């Protein structure tokens, strides 16, 4: 009996241990795997848009086209079904434009460290210099770096990317330049999952109604100026205009000092919520306008200190922040394939 009891005790103990290992290790992994809010990848997005129509771009000639723009041009005008433009790894040196009549375009790269669209151009015209321009409704990009590597040698010029589309979403992408990196001109937009945006002066600007979810904002110090640059330059002309840049989570870091934002309109609206702010963020504010709405909500890090903040700067309550940090701010549930 003692031997039998001992065997049963050993068997039960082993079984219990296996159950505990399963609960502690495998179950959480499964939960994450089926949680849309955790990881948004290319296969998920392709499944969500519900298409198997793919145009392949390969700079080595192993696809349908060697040029991204040629692939875009091949999409029929007035297109009404999602088309995947798979841009394989490599540096694609060209300007790319998605015109208004090329709706439902999903540009899929092989990762922002592998697929890049690069051009070099400066202009006093914010649109003319853009490496990448999207004006078509219902646009998605995944895993692509967009870069304008023109030297920053002329004051008041732009080297940027231009987003003027209604309902545009960027996942795991990167935007590189210095002055005026991302012209988020107008429309509802969503940048998500470690989108990386780099610049020095006013490098996220426009009047978009936009959520930047879990994005990395990297500041590059501009040695040509004594006054610090700003991350945002949001334009909002009146109280009824539904626009404003909302940064949720993510982090701001880099080289040199920078302001979180300056106003491009009397009702300019920018909110940083639950964002890590490195010491590169200086406490002062650049502008003081009567209707300015530049605010923070539960930010953290050495740059999030309220000491030295202007007396009119805002620290939002839970109730004040709620309508802005929700995906409903951009009506995302009605058009985004996935969101966090």
Is 293 within 8 Å of 266 (Cβ atoms)? Answer: no
Is 173 within 8 Å of 141 (Cβ atoms)? Answer: yes
CA 191 to chain centre: 3
User: What is the total residue count of the chain?
Assistant: 340
The per-residue DSSP string of 77-137 comes to TT--S-EEEEE-SEEEES-EEE-TT--SEEEEES-TTTEEEEE---BSSTTTT-SEEE-SS
Phi, psi (deg, nearest 5) at residue 92: -95, 105
Integer Cα distance of 198 and 299 in angstroms: 20
Active site residues: 202
Helix boundaries (H) for the chain:
2-21, 27-33, 42-49, 68-73, 318-325
Q: How many CA atoms lie within 13 A of 93 on its CB side?
A: 4
Q: Between β-strands 115-119 and 168-171, what pairing exists: parallel, antiparallel or unpaired?
A: unpaired
Q: What angle do CA 144, 149, 152 make, to 5 degrees?
A: 140
Q: What angle do CA 70, 205, 180 make, to 5 degrees?
A: 65
The Cβ of residue 50 has, within 10 Å, a number of other Cβ atoms equal to: 9
**At 265, is the secondary structure helix, strand, or coil?**
coil
Is 241 within 8 Å of 207 (Cβ atoms)? Answer: yes
């Amino acid at each position: 009996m003692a031997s039998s009891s001992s065997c049963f005790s050993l068997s039960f103990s082993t079984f219990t241990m296996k159950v505990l290992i399963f609960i502690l290790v495998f179950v959480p992994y499964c939960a994450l795997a089926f949680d849309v809010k955790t990881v948004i990848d290319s296969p998920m997005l392709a499944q969500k848009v519900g298409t198997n129509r793919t145009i392949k771009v390969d700079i080595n000639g192993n696809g349908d086209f060697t040029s991204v723009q040629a692939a875009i041009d091949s999409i029929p005008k007035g297109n009404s079904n999602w088309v995947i433009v798979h841009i394989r790894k490599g540096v694609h040196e060209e300007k790319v434009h998605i015109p208004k009549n090329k709706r439902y375009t999903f540009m899929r790269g092989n990762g922002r460290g592998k697929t890049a669209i690069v051009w070099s151009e400066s202009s006093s015209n914010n649109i003319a210099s853009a490496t990448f321009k999207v004006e078509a409704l219902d646009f998605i990009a995944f895993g692509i770096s967009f870069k304008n590597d023109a030297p920053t040698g002329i004051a008041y010029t732009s080297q940027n990317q231009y987003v003027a589309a209604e309902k545009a979403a960027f996942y795991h992408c990167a935007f590189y330049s210095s002055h005026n990196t991302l012209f988020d001109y107008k429309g509802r937009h969503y940048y998500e999952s470690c989108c990386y945006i780099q610049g020095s002066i006013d490098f996220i600007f426009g009047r978009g109604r936009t959520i930047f979810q879990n994005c990395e904002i990297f500041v590059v110090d501009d040695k040509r100026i004594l006054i610090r640059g700003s991350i945002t330059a949001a334009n909002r002309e009146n109280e009824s205009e539904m626009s404003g840049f909302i940064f949720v989570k993510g982090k701001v870091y880099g080289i040199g000092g920078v302001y979180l934002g300056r106003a491009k309109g009397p009702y300019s609206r920018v909110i940083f919520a639950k964002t890590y702010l490195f010491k590169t963020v200086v406490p002062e504010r650049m502008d003081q306008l009567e209707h300015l709405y530049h605010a923070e909500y539960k930010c953290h890090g050495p740059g999030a200190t309220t000491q030295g903040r202007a007396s009119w700067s805002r620290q939002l309550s839970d109730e004040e922040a709620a309508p802005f940090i929700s995906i409903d701010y951009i009506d995302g549930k009605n058009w985004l394939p996935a969101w966090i």
